[in-house]
Structure 1
Amino acid sequence: MKPAKLVILIFSLLTLPNGAKGGDIVSTPSDVRIYEAYIKQFEKQKDKPFGEILINTAKYFLGKPYVAYTLEIPDTERMVVNLREFDCTTFVENCIALSQVTKSGDFSYNNYLRTLMTMRYRDGEVAGYTSRLHYTSDWIYENEKHGLLRDISSETGGEKVKKDINFMTTHPQLYKHLKNNARNIEELDKIEKDISKRNAYEILPIAAIYNNQHKIRTGDIIVFATSVTGLDYSHIGIAYWQNKELHFIHASSSAKQVVIEKKTLPDYCKTSKSCTGITILRINQK
């Protein structure tokens, strides 16, 4: 698949709920068309429960390609809109944002952009590379703070785990905007230290998933903790009960597309080389 030609759209009047203003947004005409087609189909679902809209949205994108690093663009940080292909995080972010837009009844493209930006960036503002919420634990913290979701891991048998987060600054060569950029490394080092100090890392261990899975609902967000030193999580998906078994929908790097995972959630974690457990997030429904 050839990459679509990117078009930079500037929404200078885009104002976020907290008053922050959006910067340049990288999008393509194809993304706008996909959004419009989605809204045409989903605007009729406005009155359905949020969890149902979310899982229907996830299914809408089944078969879409998995592509890594879709948010990494040259030069200045801009918010990237890409509904053509996903990594695991952008898949979940877009499913939540699109579902929120559907539920709100404001089907404008600006509302979608505003919603996605608020979720992806600290304080909802694009202010350089380090304003993006790179670490999932930071993404959870910020989105829980402004009321999007709540971490229910402790309610499902989870336990607090202490872990120092520093993977990105100890491996700057792996990141385009950290390699040879001392300022970004310095700023991210402060962020990593703040994440580590919070000690808010709630994990349901692998051995406890099966006996507690009944507490997980379709539409909950499942985040997979990793044993990799300095890293909090390595994957994310959306819980989905199918034929009385708990699975999840995700953008799979192994399948190279968005899929309903064939393995059950407990089996997936058991057979993973690095998974140490899961964090369960529940979207707050308005």
Structure 2
Amino acid sequence: MKNKILCILFGALINAPFCFPRQADSLLINTLLHKSKCVSFNSGAERLLYFANSMKGIPYQGGTLDRSSNETLVVRTDSLDCTTYVENVLALYLASAKQNPEYRDYIESLTRIRYRDGKIHGYTSRLHYFSDWVEDNQNKGILKELTTHFEHETIACPLNYMTEHSHLYKQLKDNDSLLSVMRHIEQRWSEYEMPYVPKKLLDLPASEIKIKDGDILALTTSIDGLDVVHLGFAIWIGDSLHLLHASSLQKKVILDDVSLYDYLKGRSKHTGIRVIRVE
């Protein structure tokens, strides 16, 4: 009962539905924020990667945001999937810009990143599709998509996977009201032409690939109704581009030891990448 009351009070303070933090999560977040203030960074990208690297080794686990029937802000630092990994790193990065950052700053940043207009109004207010997520966070001034700045192609990519496969989503199946709202959201993307950098271009010499350390890389797909299937951060190792990500194959956050080109070329449904840079 005590934790439930504290949960309600804390949620009211940040103006969002929120599950009271586990001590381990808040302790880790505060520790990372405080330690970051003792490091001299030469660029925003260095600061971003400081947090990205700090989460290496955390176990992979999908579906952590969908366990409750009520949409609340979920904070998990003991397990991550590719999306929650990127969101947690971004939230830490934004919070660390404060003079004396605390856990509350991280919570406010995570809410702002994860939800449309930074406000939690049920399941459909979460930015489920990557293209929607990018557009919303670009409008907030958090990041900028640079895909069209590179040699790229476009492909018709109507987003409708969630409603076409609603049985895969606990909140959508048997809920006609939520399905209707999701269809309305998807309708905005019914004629979407998605830009992407074809994976064959990642085999070019490093001097011709203008991706920078810390760029968010979104792996595009040929699966009908979907735009991307995986996220991570760009890391150069010598002249080889690699992905720092929450790996479902390795079951943890890793810096992949194979190049991004080699990672993609063996996966037939992976068509290429989109490039996002944090402002």
Query: Please, what TM-score do these two structures have when normalized by structure 1?
Result: 0.90
Distance 1:226 1:26 in 2: 36
Displacement of 1:193: 1.1
1:82-231 equivalences under 5 Å are 82-197=76-191, 199=192, 201-211=194-204, 214-231=209-226
Displacement of 1:11: 2.5
Measured against aligned partners, the alpha-carbon deviations of 1:142-179 in whole angstroms (never above 9, x if no partner) come to 11111111111111112332211111101111111011
Is residue 18–residue 72 contact of structure 2 (8 Å, CA) maintained in 1? Answer: yes
Distance 1:264 1:200 in 2: 28
Name stretches of at least 5 consecutive residues in structure 2 with no aligned partner. none
Distance 2:274 2:118 in 1: 23
Displacement of 1:47: 4.9
Aligned match of 1:78:
72
Distance 2:127 2:179 in 1: 14
Displacement of 1:272: 1.5
RMSD value over aligned CA atoms?
1.9
Distance 1:51 1:267 in 2: 25
Q: Which amino acid aligns with 1:178?
A: L
Q: Which amino acid aligns with 1:183?
A: S
Query: Please, what TM-score do these two structures have when normalized by structure 2?
Result: 0.92
Aligned match of 2:12:
12
Is residue 33–residue 102 contact of structure 2 (8 Å, CA) maintained in 1? Answer: no
Sort the Cα spacing of 1:182 and 1:255 in 2 relative to 1 into closer, same or farther, 3 A.
Answer: same
Distance 1:26 1:139 in 2: 25
Distance 1:106 1:233 in 2: 36
Distance 2:33 2:84 in 1: 19
Sort the Cα spacing of 1:160 and 1:62 in 2 relative to 1 into closer, same or farther, 3 A.
Answer: same
Q: Is 2:251 the partner of 1:256? A: yes
Measured against aligned partners, the alpha-carbon deviations of 1:238-263 in whole angstroms (never above 9, x if no partner) come to 00011331101000000000000111
Q: Is 2:208 the partner of 1:245? A: no
Distance 2:205 2:237 in 1: 17
Percent identity over paired residues: 33
Measured against aligned partners, the alpha-carbon deviations of 1:32-61 in whole angstroms (never above 9, x if no partner) come to 111122123212236541101111211111
Aligned match of 1:232:
227
Is residue 247–residue 263 contact of structure 1 (8 Å, CA) maintained in 2? Answer: yes
Sort the Cα spacing of 1:153 and 1:252 in 2 relative to 1 into closer, same or farther, 3 A.
Answer: same
Bigger Cα displacement from structure 2, 43-52 vs 218-227: 43-52
Is residue 236–residue 250 contact of structure 1 (8 Å, CA) maintained in 2? Answer: yes
Is residue 34–residue 101 contact of structure 2 (8 Å, CA) maintained in 1? Answer: no
Distance 1:200 1:138 in 2: 13
1:58-77 equivalences under 5 Å are 58-77=52-71
Q: Is 2:241 the partner of 1:275? A: no
Displacement of 1:83: 1.3
Distance 1:112 1:212 in 2: 38
Q: Which amino acid aligns with 1:250?
A: H
Q: Which amino acid aligns with 2:259?
A: T
User: How many positions carry a matched residue from both structures?
Assistant: 273
Displacement of 1:196: 2.7
Distance 2:98 2:114 in 1: 19
Aligned match of 1:45:
39
Displacement of 1:212: 7.4
Q: Which amino acid aligns with 1:86?
A: L
Measured against aligned partners, the alpha-carbon deviations of 1:114-155 in whole angstroms (never above 9, x if no partner) come to 111111000100100000001111101111111111111111
